[in-house]
Amino acid sequence: MKKKTLEDLHVHGKKVLVRVDFNVPITDGEITDDNRIIQALPTIQYLIDEEAKIILFSHLGRVKTEEDLAKNSLKVVADRLQELIEKPVKFIPLTRGEALESAINAMKNGDIVMVENTRFEDLKGNKESKNDPELGAYWASLGDVFVNDAFGTAHRAHASNVGIASLKESVAGFLMEKELRYIGDTVENPERPFIAILGGAKVSDKIGVIDNLLKKADKVLIGGGMAYTFMKSLGYNIGTSIVENDKLELAKSLLEKANGKLILPVDLVVTKEFKADAANRVTTYEKIQNDEMGLDIGPKTIKLFKKELKGAKTVIWNGPLGVFEFEAFAKGTRAICEILANLKNARTIIGGGDSAAAAIQMGYAESFTHISTGGGASLEFLEGKELPGVTSLDDAIECDCGEGCGCH
């Protein structure tokens, strides 16, 4: 069922509650990656242009102690948004109360108010994270309609998404709509050949994703730390490489079920120490020493993956191929970025998380059709699971005129 979107709302002069995902990395009080803020700008700008009153909600980090309050305030995010949008953003360092209500009631059309970190409510008994009905009702009372543009939290039922959505006319923002279209529609109706690339450390994190994609993709390429569990399940020595010994039988059964669709690495870059400047060498699985660990795919694997990707029309990638944070072990991840950037007439999508961070860090942000802002949400969506933050939005009206306009 398709969901209503921002353009289905009449927002002029209305107080529009907007759930954004401004959970950005901050070091020493400075935002180190503002991509999630940038991705929300089209929705915010549209609401400004339509002369709505914009009330922004977001979480930032986890809030478990009083010390977390100071380091996880959204004030620095409000300041950055103000720079990007070139318009004042009134930050209210509260999640509820008279000062917040007064600021909202004083808004003029086109004004922006940002509420303090929604997870500050978790100090009072996980009220945000547990979708406390009283909190959801309070936040819903502050506005007229609700826009959810936070795909990154769509896999969670929180007071600031599902709680508000259950009480207000609720639609998807432009970013949410884009995520649903690119990831959901692409997986369900891919142009073929359709290749999936899965990396990251653990098979257990991606069992559902592998299972779902084996039904839909033509090939699934495996890299990163999870590859070592697969290789050990086949009887190879993996030295001191990361492994999930309790998932060996599962890995073996996935390989059997794949019927040749799962493509594993054929060589790797190994080292004896987990550090950036450690001595390393390229080897095959047959020749790993007992005291060596794999931290990247090797050149023969890069060549193999390039061959498998040749001519692909749809590619979804989730998870780095090695420890890309260390330059010596970033070659596999960088090579995948380069291969996908040069695919002709292909739809290329990164499903959030570390692979998205790697592609942006390596300068390939503009080289993909879509880079998701969701980590866990992307994974669950790729598994085919329903996302509470999406299902809680109003359904679009089906129409018979053939235009998809919702006229009937």
Cβ 20 vs Cβ 150: under 8 Å? yes
Q: What is the 3-state secondary structure (H, E, C) of 300-313?
A: HHHHHHHHHHCCCC
The span from the CA of 385 to the CA of 271, in Å, is 38
Q: Of these residues, 61, 110, 208, 376, which one is catalytic?
A: 376
Catalytic site includes residue 281: no
Cβ 242 vs Cβ 228: under 8 Å? yes
Catalytic site includes residue 353: yes
Cβ 88 vs Cβ 82: under 8 Å? yes
Residue 64, SS3 per DSSP = coil
Q: Of these residues, 36, 53, 119, 127, which one is catalytic?
A: 36
The span from the CA of 408 to the CA of 398, in Å, is 7
Q: Of these residues, 87, 202, 252, 272, which one is catalytic?
A: 202
Q: Which residues pair with 281 in a beta bridge?
A: 270
Q: Of these residues, 352, 353, 375, 389, which one is catalytic?
A: 353
The span from the CA of 187 to the CA of 182, in Å, is 8
Sequence-separated (6 or more) residues with CB below 8 Å from residue 195: 217, 218, 219, 220, 221, 308, 309, 312, 314, 315, 316
DSSP state of 257: H
Residue 363, φ and ψ in degrees, nearest 5: 90, 20
Catalytic site includes residue 344: no
Sequence-separated (6 or more) residues with CB below 8 Å from residue 363: none
Q: Where are the beta strands (DSSP E) in 50-108?
A: 53-57, 90-92
Catalytic site includes residue 376: yes
Which residues are the active-site residues? Answer: 36, 202, 353, 376
